[in-house]
Amino acid sequence: MSSGKLAWGVLAGLTAAYPFLVFYSLGRFDPFWLLGMLAGVAFLRAVWRGKGAADWLPVAAAAALLIWGRGGAVLWYPVMVNAFFLFWFAASLIFPPSAVERLARLMDPALPAEGVRYTRKVTWVWCGFFLFNGSFAAYTAVAGDMGLWAWYNGLVSYLLMAALMGGEYFVRRRFMRINGHA
């Protein structure tokens, strides 16, 4: 394995482990240090990928939480990331091309008009996802049940995102086949 892939894997692993690190750290040491680690990991991931605004949104969320304060602020990172992505996807509906169209054009620069309409609808679906996911993440932050917070933000939300991505992939393949683009 190359050092680049290893570094990317470590950064992705730390990001995914964040909710469980918060769960473990509460009551053991000041969670402000986790925010610092999170900001550092988010910054390294953004520098590593650095292809657009979406790569820098988690950095902004972590930085805002560092500025905001200590303690419970660590619980609001998933909420802020969802809010930033909701804002970015929704803004792309107002100021086209849509976020999903931009991603689709990376694979198919000559995206047909029906593909543009489809990606716009998918962008709306993602907006709904970020609204729901961020709202439930906020609920877990105020509910006071750290087990619920860690499981939802560390596992369930990732599974929901994977299910949406996978489901959209199969719908898109069918859409492309029906419209003669497969």
pLDDT at 95 over 70: yes
Structure confidence by residue, pLDDT tens digits, 49-87: 766 766 777 777 777 777 666 556 778 888 988 998 999
3 state SS of 109: coil
pLDDT in tens, 15-59: 777 777 777 776 777 767 777 777 787 788 778 776 676 677 777
User: How is the chain split among helix, strand and coil, in percent rounded to 5?
Assistant: 85, 0, 15
Apex CA 55: angle with CA 52 and CA 59, to 5°?
130
Quote the mean pLDDT of the chain.
83
Contact yes or no for 111/105 (Cβ under 8 A)? yes
Helices 157-178 and 113-143: angle between axes, nearest 10 degrees: 170
Q: Mean pLDDT, to the nearest integer, of 157-168?
A: 94
33 or 163, greater pLDDT: 163
pLDDT band at 134 (very low <50, low <70, confident <90, very high): very high
Intra-chain end-to-end CA distance of the chain, in Å: 34
CA 102-85-26 angle, 5° bins: 145
The yes-or-no verdict on residue 182 having pLDDT over 70 is no
Rounded distance, CA 18 to CA 157, Å? 13
- Report percent pLDDT > 90 for the chain: 37
With cut-offs at 50, 70 and 90, classify the pLDDT of residue 1: low
Minimal CA–CA distance to 101: which of 82, 87, 121? 121
